[in-house]
Amino acid sequence: MREATAAVDGSLSTVDADPLAPRPQDVAARDLCRRLAVDVVEPVAREADETRTFPAEAVRALAAEGILGASLPTELGGLGWDALQLTHLYEEFGRVDQSVRGFLSVHLGLVCQCLFDAGSEQQRQTWLPRLASGEVFGAYALTETGAGSDAAAIATHAVADGDGWRLSGEKVWITNGLSAGVFLLFATVDPELRHKGVTAFLIPGDAEGLSRDRMPGHELGHRGSEHARLTLDRVRVGPDQVVGGIGGGFEVAMGGLDHGRLGVAAGAVGLLQACLDATIEFCRERRQFGKRIGDFQMVQERIADMACDTDAARLLTKRAAWMAIRDLPRTREVSMAKLFATEAACRWASETVLLHGSRGYVNERPVERHFRDAPGLRIYEGTSYVQRIVIARDLVGREARS
Ligand SMILES: Cc1cc2nc3c(=O)[nH]c(=O)nc-3n(C[C@H](O)[C@H](O)[C@H](O)COP(=O)(O)OP(=O)(O)OC[C@H]3O[C@@H](n4cnc5c(N)ncnc54)[C@H](O)[C@@H]3O)c2cc1C
């Protein structure tokens, strides 16, 4: 049950500060990330997409500015940013490139924050400074061929071996999976137990028995990302590599998704803002029938609706971030932000291509890439249908069983 401090309608009154007034630290975070997005990521985004190459050099340049540890405390080598500052980070990088934004959501949200929340002191000290500096990249390995939305159905199994385990199985679609130096990987100690058997393990990238290759096929979008298939053949793990206890992995996975989904929502806001900016600029310059196309009422209606959805997505995202800062239960609000922002991103990326006419249909402008990147946002970290299940279940509650 949610605590009494959270209003029933989840409104912004649940927090004690004006969410519309940017704090100095938000302005600083936004300005730094905007500068890095424009100077470092944007210039390489098109080539990374065309060549399907992870822009490792650009990501290393972000590491040098501390971005790869943004969500971690300064004692662990991070920037100590809170959830609201992180929404600026994801929005600014999402504005120029979903592949790098996706890298950051996984590395920061799903791995660093998850490990910080659920890891032992020894695990934190061993891995988090290395992740923060960019010495190693993190990946989060949950999905399997037979277990996507139904994460409790994972078949990668952990068999007891002395004081530890041996893991065997296969993971698919693992972002950052080719170059990751550490995996937060989920396996089951007993498939019959469903979610109660799921256990999280920290697996170093060079673990014996772990192999990785690129997912087959060409992705629709996020082509600058690494999507890997992992094969585990009796990978040995010791007791110090278990995160959150045996059988505690499902909770670890879902806790990570509260961070990760917020990053996806903020990334979608960035994509929406990019589409809006591109559309406004184009509608001011393109003339037909003797007028700027931005002077036609039908086009104005589209621009006005796109602006409203962009702001609404941003406000839903910021509400969830404020709730994170206050440590309030927020799974529903995070899902609402992810659902609304990613659906709007898909809708408006498509409309932006249309509003650009033939110029939206080639890769000389980034709107074509935004259009291909947007559908991925609705799929990973829980599809839009799954977000609706999370929201509705929280509202309706589960029926009591006798
Ligand atoms: C670009 C990209 C990056 C990814 N990165 C990662 C990563 O880093 N780590 C990782 O572990 N995974 C990753 N994934 C995998 C991703 O999380 C899964 O694709 C996602 O959870 C959906 O699983 P699935 O593809 O197996 O679809 P399925 O679960 O098979 O779903 C197929 C369809 O059925 C619907 N459906 C399923 N169950 C229900 C239900 N109960 N009610 C209504 N509809 C339902 C779904 O919404 C969907 O529309 C990534 C995927 C992509 C595309």
Res 20: pLDDT: 63
- Given this model, what pLDDT does residue 127 score? 98
Q: pLDDT tens, 263-293?
A: 999 999 999 999 999 999 999 999 999 999 9
320 Cβ below 6 A of ligand 1 = no
Report CA 275 to chain centroid distance, whole Å.
19
Ligand 1: atom nearest CA of 175 is 8
Residue 153 makes CB contacts below 8 A (sequence gap 6+) with 144, 146, 147, 191, 194
Q: What is the pLDDT of residue 5?
A: 37
Whole-number pLDDT of residue 400: 80
Distance (Å, whole) CA 121 – CA 262: 26
Q: Please tell me the pTM assigned to this model.
A: 0.94
Q: Residues 256-396: name the CATH superfamily.
A: Butyryl-CoA Dehydrogenase, subunit A, domain 3 (1.20.140.10)
Band the pLDDT of 22: cuts 50, 70, 90: confident
Rg of the Cα atoms in the chain? 21
CB of 183 closer than 6 angstroms to any ligand 1 atom:
no
Helix (H) or strand (E) holding 286: none
Q: Which of 5-9, 186-190, 271-275 has the lowest mean pLDDT?
A: 5-9
Specify whether the CB–CB gap between 78 and 132 falls below 8 A.
yes
| pLDDT for residue 371 | 98
pLDDT recorded at residue 10: 37
Give the domain ranges of the chain.
Answer: 12-136, 139-250, 256-396
Instruction: Choose the residue to mutate in 108, 170, 173 for probing ligand 1, maximizing ligand atoms within 8 Å of C-beta.
Output: 173
The tokens for 23 are 């704090």
Q: Report the CATH fold assignment for 12-136.
A: Butyryl-Coa Dehydrogenase, subunit A; domain 1 (1.10.540)
- State whether the beta carbon of 143 lies less than 6 angstroms from ligand 1: yes
- Assess whether the C-beta atom of 247 lies below 6 angstroms from ligand 1: no
Work out the average pLDDT over 23-36.
96
**CATH classification code of 139-250:** 2.40.110.10
Report the share of the chain in percent with pLDDT over 90. 92
Is the CB of residue 12 less than 8 Å from the CB of residue 319?
yes
Please tell me the residue having the least CA distance from ligand 1 atom 38.
149
Catalytic residue among 42, 285, 381, 399: 381
* Section 73-97 average pLDDT: 97
